Structure 1
Amino acid sequence: MTELEKGPQGRRRGRGARERILGASEQLFREQGINRTGMDQLCAAAQVSKRTAYQHFAGKDELVAEYLRRFDPDVMPVVFDRTDLTPRERLLAAFEVPASGPEDITPMCPYIAAAVELHDPEHPASRYARDYKQAIATRLAETAREAGATDPEQLGEQLALLLDGAAARTRVLNTEFFPTAAAIAAVLIDNAIPAPAQR
């Protein structure tokens, strides 16, 4: 192996450098935030040289945007693409969060966290976060329409707001609020979907 094939401290760069960089960014951005994570620290964690990092990403802005894209590229397919659930059940499934241990409370939504940290609405990651949040509301509205809601766009926005509120409150108070949000969602859904006519 030549010196050119080695990264920091002589570790082999090899294939997978891009994945290691993204993996390190996911861990560090969530643990300490985007602004507090520098490229030197990311490169050390990913075991790549800065030169290698910049061959994969033009800069930190591009890396942050790609970090967000990887979280949920298909906009909650585990909820919205389920064929074993009715549309109403899919709306409620959006509030089901995998059970976590007491030390593993649901982290702050990465899209909200990025938008708060970056302060720049034109930053590529801020634009992506905005697009993602709009896509969630759209998918909720489409599912609400399937369920027969009288105003599916309104219900979609209400449920999207409830999801974001539950995520933020969970993080700030270090207690899971998704079960409470799911109970509120059920009331909103039932009020928005007309009861079937009785024969």
Structure 2
Amino acid sequence: MTELEKGPRGLRRGRGARERILSASQQLFRDHGINGTGMDQLCAVAEVSKRTLYQHFSGKDELIAEGLRRFDPDILPEVFDRTDLTPRERLLAAFDVHSPLCPFIAAAVEIPDPGHPARVQARDYKKAFAARLTDTAREAGATHPEQLGEQLALLLDGASARSRVLDTETLATAAAIAAVLVDNAIPTAVVPAGTSTV
């Protein structure tokens, strides 16, 4: 039987099952929440049996944590690793690509146990994200880079949470506030000539 053939009850079998499970879980957790997603629903969307799911993941907790590990392992490399942007531009670019529906915030809200693997992953990610902002603020010449990094991280998280609650776009407003914070934190002499401060 090939990987595309159907197994018992018409469910797909084969080597792509793990990725289908992860993809389905990310979609369902985003659309219905972690607690609102059942294992039967997950198996149906991933087109796998429960047996197959449990062969790849010990349970929902492991699946949640693995999804978070894979979400953005390098902390927005499409922003922070760009060499065609100035450090100031990279700080502001984070507001252009940051997901308004942050899965790390969702996991932290839905899972009350601070020792849960997903909560630990969310906490580690948020600290690493703030550290990347701080490093970039330092590179941009910010007077207090740690403070600016934390301010921008808080602003992004607040915009993400507000977007999720109100089901509306808030990142454009957050980006405008970020520009003010960045410009107030970086001495004028450090901003390269010809660079827009808006």
Give the structure-2-normalised TM-score.
0.89
Matching residue's letter, 2:96: E
- Are 1:116 and 2:109 an aligned pair? yes
Shift, 1:44, TM fit: 1.8
* 2:145 equivalent in structure 1: 152
Shift, 1:173, TM fit: 2.2
Q: Is the contact made by 1:97 and 1:178 (CA closer than 8 Å) also made in structure 2?
A: no
Shift, 1:12, TM fit: 3.1
* 1:81 equivalent in structure 2: 81
* 2:23 equivalent in structure 1: 23
* Partner secondary structure for residue 154 of structure 1: helix
Segments of structure 1 that go 5 or more residues without pairing to the other structure are 99-105
Shift, 1:67, TM fit: 1.2
* 2:194 equivalent in structure 1: none
Which of 117, 124, 129 is the aligned partner of 1:136?
129
Structure 2 Cα separation of the partners of residues 124 and 56 of structure 1: 17
Which of 153, 157, 164 is the aligned partner of 1:164?
157
CA offsets 1:6-27 (integer angstroms, 9 cap, x no match): 5452333011000000011011
Count the aligned residue pairs. Answer: 188
Segments of structure 2 that go 5 or more residues without pairing to the other structure are 191-198
CA RMSD of aligned residues (A): 1.8
* 2:51 equivalent in structure 1: 51
5 Å-filtered alignment, 1:87-98, equals 87-97=87-97
Q: Is the contact made by 1:8 and 1:44 (CA closer than 8 Å) also made in structure 2?
A: no
Identical columns (%): 77
* 2:38 equivalent in structure 1: 38
Q: Is the contact made by 1:120 and 1:126 (CA closer than 8 Å) also made in structure 2?
A: yes
Matching residue's letter, 2:145: P
Structure 1 Cα separation of the partners of residues 11 and 54 of structure 2: 18
Matching residue's letter, 1:190: D
- Are 1:180 and 2:177 an aligned pair? no
* 2:193 equivalent in structure 1: none
Give the structure-1-normalised TM-score.
0.88
CA offsets 1:99-145 (integer angstroms, 9 cap, x no match): xxxxxxx6531110111001111100000001111111000000000
State which drifts further: 114-123 or 89-98: 89-98
